[in-house]
Every structure is written in structure tokens, then in C-alpha cells.
């Protein structure tokens, strides 16, 4: 049904004289408006709603979600203040309805809520770990200082936590240690030196009061190069230890009279690689005596 009116109508407006509703406002209609009865207008609205719903449902959920996020992102970037205001106004107006709907959904989808929470927690934890790693790489000295201060203030707590971790992850730590000793010569060398150092001091009745690296007198890489310079034919890092070569005190630790002597004889300059059988034969002999009679 069409009517001629001088007034500018909008879709959904009701003509007070006839009770008809403006279904469409277009220039190509006579009078510019297509008038329908309220019943017909309701039918048209429902038809349009169902058509839009079918079109919306045909889009995959992940695509809809991504599209919605992109729209919100653009709106937020275009006007951040207006976006915040929109969210505040929406929550003030529909806050109770939103909360009720959220509660109902959570109640009816407990499994989904648990899975989503677990996933979010895992992802957040991973993001936090990566962010912490990046910060630590950029601020190494600051991180070391911070860790030292924390350990000093929380010695008992740190000790208890470390002990618990070692107990719970004992098998994993043992396997990792074996792998590192097998694949990293420097780690294996440090391990062997510490064992040799502790055994030599204990044999003389002394206790270790300084860090191994301080007693050694150099870093582990330098120590590795030092020993390599004395390698005999056939010596490699793969045959260090049982059945291969040992770290030998060139001047025996048995000649130490004092604790200071023992520490001095554990300096890297007094250490040499020696085949295990030669090391057993040499025992506590002075190098001049051993190599002179060999």
C-alpha cells in the first residue's frame, strides 16, 4: 500500500492518520514510502531477522570471532576514549543481564569453563615465562643481583623449595645430569675436578671453604685448554675417567703440609691428564721420581 505524504518518514514510523507503518523509504516508490499494516511489518521484520540469522550461522564460529575482534580492535584504535566509554555505558546499562547470562552459561558449560581456564592459565604461564626470559636476557646483572638478594633474605624458604624440587624431580635431574656429562666436556671436566678436589682435601683432613673455580684459579674453558695442551696420543674428552685418563696432581697432594699447600696443589697449573694406569702407579710419588724410574 502506498500513500503520498509531504512529511519525511523513516522506516518503522507509524502514520497517525491511517495506523500504517513505513516498511521501506525509497525514492522509486510513489510518495517515497511503502506503507504496510502492523501485522505485515512484523512479518517482514521476522523474515529479515531469519535471513540475517541464517547468513550469520553459515559463517564458521572462529571466523565470526576473529571478525568481531578485528572490528573491536579497529574501533578501539580509532577512538580509545570513545571505546572505553562505550564499554562502560554498555556495562552500566546491561551489567546485571551480562552477569546473569555469564553465570548461566558457566553453570551449563562446566567442562568448557574448566578447559578454557586450563588453556588460558597454560597460555598465560607460557607468556609470562617468555616475557621473564626476555627481560632476564636484557638485564642479566640486575637479575643476578635480584636473585642473590632474594636468596639472602629467604634462605630457609629457598632451601626447602630446592630440596622439594630435587626430591620430586630426582629421576629427571639425574637423567639431565648424565646427558650433560656425556655431551658437554666442560661440564664433565668441572664435575671431575670437584670430585678430585673434595677427595684430595678430605684425604688430608681439610675442608673446602672456597668455591671450586676460585681454588682452580681459572675458568673451566681455560682449564680445558690447559689439559688439552698436555694430552698424550689417544687422549680425548670421550675417554676421560674410568678406563681412560685421569686428572693427576703433578706434585702429589700427599706432599701438602698445610691447608694452604693443599689448595695451592689443586691450582690448575699443577694438574695434568694422565692415563689411569700410570696414575695408579704414580700414586704419591714426586714427578721426578716417577718419570725418572718409569
Residue 292 has pLDDT above 60, yes or no: no
pLDDT of residue 207: 77
74 in the same domain as 119: no
5 pLDDT tier (thresholds 50, 70, 90)? very low
Q: Is residue 156 one of the residues assigned to a domain?
A: yes
Sequence-ordered list of residues with C-beta below 8 angstroms from that of 10, at least 6 positions apart, any chain: 22, 25
Domain end, chosen from 108, 128, 156, is at 108
28 pLDDT tier (thresholds 50, 70, 90)? confident
127 in the same domain as 97: no
CA distance 289 to 250: 12
pLDDT of residue 174: 83
Mean pLDDT, residues 201-222: 83
121 in the same domain as 67: no
Residue 3 has pLDDT above 60, yes or no: no
220 in the same domain as 240: yes
Torsion of the alpha carbons at 237, 239, 245 and 249, rounded to the nearest 10: 30
Q: What is the mean pLDDT of the chain?
A: 85
Q: Is residue 6 one of the residues assigned to a domain?
A: no
- Domain housing 98: 21-108
Domain end, chosen from 142, 168, 194, is at 168
Are 15 and 22 in contact, with CB atoms under 8 Å apart? yes
pLDDT of residue 226: 92
pTM of the model: 0.42
Residue 2 has pLDDT above 50, yes or no: no
SS3 letters across the chain: CECCCCCCCCCCCECCCCCCEEEEECCCCHHHEEEECHHHHHHHHHHHHHHHHHHHHCCCHHHHHHHHHHHHHHHHHHCHHHHHHHHHHHHHHHHHHHHHHHHHHHHHCHHHHHHHHHHHHHHHHHHHHHHHHHHHHHCHHHHHHHHHHHHHHCHHHHHHHHHHHHHHCHHHHHHHHHHHHHHCHHHHHHHHHHHHHHHHHHHCCCCCCCCHHHHHCCCHHHHHHHHHCCCCCCCCCCCECCCCEEEEECCCHHHCCCHHHHHHHCCHHHEEEEEHHHHHHHCCCCHHHHHHHC
Are 70 and 78 in contact, with CB atoms under 8 Å apart? no
149 in the same domain as 51: no
Mean pLDDT, residues 284-292: 69
CA distance 153 to 168: 25
Q: Is residue 275 one of the residues assigned to a domain?
A: yes
pLDDT of residue 290: 63
Domain end, chosen from 168, 192, 208, is at 168
163 in the same domain as 80: no
Mean pLDDT, residues 239-259: 86
- Residue 262's CB is within 10 A of a number of other CB atoms, namely 23
User: What is the tally of structural domains in the chain?
Assistant: 3
230 in the same domain as 289: yes
pLDDT of residue 197: 83
Q: Is residue 13 one of the residues assigned to a domain?
A: no
Mean pLDDT, residues 168-191: 81
Q: Is residue 217 one of the residues assigned to a domain?
A: yes
Residue 189 has pLDDT above 90, yes or no: no
pLDDT of residue 47: 93
Render pLDDT for 36-69 as a digit per residue (tens, 0 to 9). 999 999 999 999 999 999 998 898 988 888 988 8
193 in the same domain as 121: no
Q: Is residue 227 one of the residues assigned to a domain?
A: yes
- Residue 128's CB is within 10 A of a number of other CB atoms, namely 10
Mean pLDDT, residues 243-263: 86
Mean pLDDT, residues 93-100: 90
Q: Is residue 12 one of the residues assigned to a domain?
A: no
Are 212 and 190 in contact, with CB atoms under 8 Å apart? yes
Q: Is residue 146 one of the residues assigned to a domain?
A: yes
pLDDT of residue 79: 92
Residue 35 sits at φ, ψ, to 5 deg, of -95, 135
Burial classification of residue 216, based on how many CB atoms lie within 10 Å of its CB (0-12 exposed, 13-18 middle, 19 or more buried): buried
93 in the same domain as 52: yes
146 in the same domain as 102: no
- The residue ranking higher by pLDDT, 118 or 270, is 270
Are 240 and 277 in contact, with CB atoms under 8 Å apart? no
pLDDT of residue 1: 46
Residue 145 has pLDDT above 80, yes or no: yes
Burial classification of residue 286, based on how many CB atoms lie within 10 Å of its CB (0-12 exposed, 13-18 middle, 19 or more buried): middle
198 in the same domain as 164: no
Residue 133 has pLDDT above 70, yes or no: yes
Residue 193 has pLDDT above 70, yes or no: yes
- The residue ranking higher by pLDDT, 204 or 70, is 70
97 in the same domain as 51: yes
Amino acid at each position: 500500500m502506498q500513500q503520498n505524504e509531504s512529511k519525511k518518514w523513516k522506516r518503522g514510523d507509524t502514520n497517525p492518520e491511517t495506523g500504517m507503518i513505513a516498511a521501506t523509504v525509497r525514492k522509486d516508490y510513489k510518495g517515497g514510502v511503502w506503507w504496510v499494516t502492523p501485522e505485515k511489518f512484523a512479518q517482514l521484520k521476522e523474515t529479515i531477522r531469519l535471513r540475517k540469522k541464517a547468513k550469520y550461522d553459515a559463517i564458521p564460529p572462529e571466523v565470526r570471532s576473529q571478525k568481531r575482534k578485528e572490528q573491536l580492535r579497529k574501533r578501539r584504535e580509532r577512538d580509545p576514549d570513545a571505546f572505553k566509554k562505550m564499554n562502560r555505558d554498555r556495562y552500566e546499562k546491561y551489567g546485571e543481564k551480562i552477569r546473569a547470562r555469564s553465570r548461566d552459561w558457566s553453570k551449563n558449560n562446566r567442562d568448557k569453563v574448566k578447559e578454557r581456564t586450563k588453556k588460558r592459565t597454560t597460555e598465560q604461564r607460557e607468556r609470562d615465562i617468555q616475557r621473564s626470559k626476555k627481560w632476564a636476557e636484557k638485564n642479566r646483572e640486575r637479575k643476578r643481583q635480584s636473585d642473590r638478594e632474594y636468596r639472602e633474605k629467604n634462605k630457609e624458604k629457598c632451601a626447602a623449595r630446592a630440596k622439594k624440587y630435587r626430591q620430586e624431580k630426582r629421576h629427571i635431574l639425574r637423567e639431565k645430569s648424565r646427558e650433560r656429562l656425556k655431551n658437554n666436556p666442560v661440564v664433565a671436566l668441572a664435575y671431575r675436578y670437584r670430585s678430585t678436589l673434595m677427595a684430595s682435601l678430605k684425604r688430608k683432613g681439610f675442608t673446602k671453604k672456597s668455591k671450586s673455580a676460585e681454588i682452580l684459579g681459572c675458568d673451566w674453558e681455560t682449564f680445558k685448554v690447559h689439559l688439552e695442551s698436555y694430552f698424550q696420543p689417544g687422549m680425548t674428552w670421550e675417554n676421560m675417567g674410568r678406563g681412560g685418563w685421569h686428572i693427576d696432581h703433578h706434585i702429589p697432594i700427599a706432599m701438602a703440609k698445610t691447608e694452604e699447600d693443599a689448595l695451592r696443589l689443586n691450582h690448575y697449573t699443577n694438574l695434568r691428564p694422565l692415563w689411569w694406569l700410570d696414575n695408579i702407579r704414580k700414586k704419591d710419588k714426586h714427578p721426578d721420581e716417577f718419570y725418572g724410574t718409569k
